[in-house]
Every structure is written in C-alpha cells, then in structure tokens.
Amino acid sequence: MTSKRLLGAFSAAALCLGSLPASGQEATSTVASEGPTGSDYAVYVHGLHVLNVSASYQLQPWGYGATTHLESAGFASWFLKMRITTQAQGHFTENGISPISYESSGFSRGTVRHVKLVYHDGTPSVDILEPRENDREQVPSDQLAHTVDTLSGVAHLLHTLTTTGKCNGTEMVFDGLRLTHMTIHGPVTDAIPQDHGELYSGPALRCDFIGQQVAGFVKDSPNRNKMSQPKPGAVWFKQVDGFGLVPVRIEIEHPKLGHVTVVMQQAPRH
C-alpha cells in the first residue's frame, strides 16, 4: 500500500460527497449553522485504520467555508508519512454554487505538495501545482467550465440535502489533477452499519453515488482501465441535535485498494 493509493482513497471518499444537484434545482430555504462545525473521521482499508481526517465547515445562506486536515494513522503511519491541509470557500447561488478558491498543501508521496485553484466566472485556473506531475495527462481546459472542487461539493451537498431533502444530480469535480464525473441519488432511510466502532447507530439518510474519472490519468498507466471504471459508494447522514444533518459514514470501492470505509469518531462540535 503506497501513500499515493491512500491519498487516492481519501480523494475518492471526498468525491463521494462532492456530487451536486442537477443544474437549475433551487433550494427552498437555507439553514445557517450557529458556528463552525468540527468533526473527526477514521479511514479504514480492508479493516485497517490508515488515516485520520478532521474537518471544519460553516454554512451561511450566502456561502460556505471548509477546512480538512488529513494524517496517516495506525500501522500505516510507521512507513507512510502523510499530512495534508485543504481549504475551500465559495458562494451559494439560486442555481447551485460558485466556488471562490481551493487550496491543498502538505507532505505526501515523499515530498511537499501544493495545489491552488482560483475560480473566474465558474472556471478554475490552476495557480499553483507543485511539484508538476509531468507523467500525468493534463485535463483539457475546455472541460473545466462549471466544475467544482471536492470541498465545495461537500458544502453544496449538505446545503442541498438540508434545504430540499434530496441528493439527486450529477456534477464534474476537478481537484487540480483529475476530472471525475459524479452522479448521486437518494436519499433512502437505512440503518448505519456497525463494524468499526461507530459513534452513531439506528436510521439515517443514505445517498448512493457513482464516481468515474474521465480525465487526468497517468500517462501509459497499466491501471488506466481500472481507474476509469465507475466506482460505487454510499454516504450516511445522521440528524444530530444542534448540528442538523451530519455525514457519519462513507463507503467506496477503490480500483486498487478495494473497499474503503470512512467513519465518524467523535461527536461534532462548534
């Protein structure tokens, strides 16, 4: 297991939350949070605890801000070093969302990495990409219009599910390197699985999704066919007093790692 695959697993988990409602679907109301909401998650691969993720976000009627911090954990931290902080901000609009900026930096795959996206009229420009990944195909610029970053997708999904009760739609998600087509549908009421010491149990709202990478592949990769296959998954949202709907569990199928589970470890906090 490499740090590249672990980071890919986390990115896929974030992408599952990055699906937005179909264009033109308008929220009926907006619920602003009382303050930034913080939450902590553990990422499991084949039952092994490999990553810790802390997240902080705030939703207002006019927009959002979000920060995540990822660090290797458990047995994986003995031989894989990873520490990454990611931030995003943007506005909610009548027809969806308008990201302003996205930035991710930290140590991964043996070096310090830094990605910064700035949005102009709904299209991101890659202001910083260090180091350059010359072994990867560049996403064509004509495919970037109206794409969103992963954290903006999380904020929009939470906003939309809270205000409309739905999570149906499609979206294109761009993280600075890869372009992924997301579809999501639901929710349905489903019991939260109990296999990793879950903090919450009982019924929750489950949204099912499929993510499929469509651009930004590593050149001449023998795994290209696997990476381009649709990847199913699901996310469970629990109604928590004082916080509203909170994502408490994510499951994805990663083309290399297999089954990946992300589980909330501590109660959300303001």
8-41 tens-digit pLDDT: 444 545 544 433 333 223 333 334 445 688 999 9
Q: What is the pLDDT of residue 108?
A: 86
Residue 15 and residue 148 in contact, taking contact as beta carbons nearer than 8 Å: no
User: Stretch 202-229: mean pLDDT, rounded?
Assistant: 92
The upper half-sphere exposure of residue 94, i.e. CA atoms within 13 Å in the direction of its Cβ, equals 0
Task: Specify the residue for token string 């039952």.
Answer: 47
Q: What is the pLDDT of residue 255?
A: 77
Task: Specify the residue for token string 């083309």.
Answer: 255
Q: What is the pLDDT of residue 190?
A: 97
Has residue 105 got a pLDDT over 60?
A: yes
> Taking the CB of residue 65, how many other CB atoms lie within 10 A of it?
17
Residue 259: phi and psi, rounded to 5, are -80, 125
Token pair listed for 173: 């998600």
How far is it, in rounded angstroms, from Cα 258 to Cα 46? 7
Q: What is the pLDDT of residue 133?
A: 87
List 237's β-bridge partners, or say none: 205, 247
Has residue 152 got a pLDDT over 50?
A: yes
Q: Which amino acid is at 43?
A: V
Has residue 6 got a pLDDT over 70?
A: no
Report the predicted TM-score, pTM, of the whole model to 2 decimal places.
0.85
User: Stretch 141-158: mean pLDDT, rounded?
Assistant: 88
| Sign of the dihedral defined by the CA atoms of residues 246, 249, 253, 258, in that order | positive
What is the three-class DSSP state of 143? Answer: helix
User: Stretch 147-155: mean pLDDT, rounded?
Assistant: 88
- Which ranges of the chain does DSSP label H, i.e. alpha helix? 3-16, 150-164, 224-227
Q: Which amino acid is at 119?
A: Y
Chain segment 45-75, per-residue pLDDT in tens:
888 898 999 998 888 888 999 999 999 997 7
Buried b (16+ CB within 10 A) or exposed e, 157-193: bbbbbbbeebbbbebbbbbbbbbbbbbbebbeeeebe
The answer to whether the bond into 187 is cis (omega within 30° of 0) is yes
The answer to whether the bond into 131 is cis (omega within 30° of 0) is yes
User: Stretch 217-233: mean pLDDT, rounded?
Assistant: 91
Question: 204 to each of 13, 17, 163, 188, 246, how far by Cα in Å?
Answer: 18, 16, 17, 8, 10
